[in-house]
Amino acid sequence: MEDSVAARKAPRVEVHHSPMVRGLYFAAGLCALVAGGLGVVLPVLPTAPFVLLAAACFARSSDRFYNAMLNHRIAGPIIADWREHGAMKRKTKLWALLMMALSFGTSLLLVPTFWHRVMLLGMAAVLVFFIWRVPTRPDPQRRDV
């Protein structure tokens, strides 16, 4: 099977030698991937951390699933940036913050009670803080003058 360019640049993570441990990693990867998929449509559930967790689990359990994630048109570059640089592109962070603002803004308009709004604002603040703390990878095409 053909490896992606990102997989060749970063150090290789080996599949675990124990079939039982591989099965546990695979099950955890599937659960994380489902949670990430739900995070696309549910306003409070984050997507990116679950996708990164799924990729880490698949790297230790299934070359086929891991390579499929690396070659995915949307998730692949985000996983590769995290794996190679431990950072996110500025554009990815801005998209995440925009989607969070839309999601939480809609939720704040829909919930009926003050305390639900306070809870949503608290969760939004924690997520914004998390994304803000993730290192930003400099854009190689952008030159600051």
Rounded mean pLDDT, 88-106? 85
List the Cα angle 7/12/18 in 5-degree steps. Answer: 125
d(CA 54, CA 48): 10
What confidence category does residue 26 fall into, taking pLDDT thresholds of 50, 70 and 90? very high
Q: Is the dihedral of CA 67, 82, 33, 110 positive or negative?
A: negative
pLDDT tens-digit profile of 30-84? 999 999 888 877 767 778 788 888 998 999 998 899 999 999 998 888 888 888 8
pTM above 0.85, yes or no: no
Indicate the Cα dihedral angle 126, 66, 76, 38, nearest 10°.
-50
Q: Are 68 and 59 in contact (CB under 8 A)?
A: no
Query: In the chain, what are the domain boundaries?
Result: 1-86, 87-138
Cα within 13 Å of Cα(133), Cβ side: 6
- The reported pLDDT for the residue numbered 124 is 87
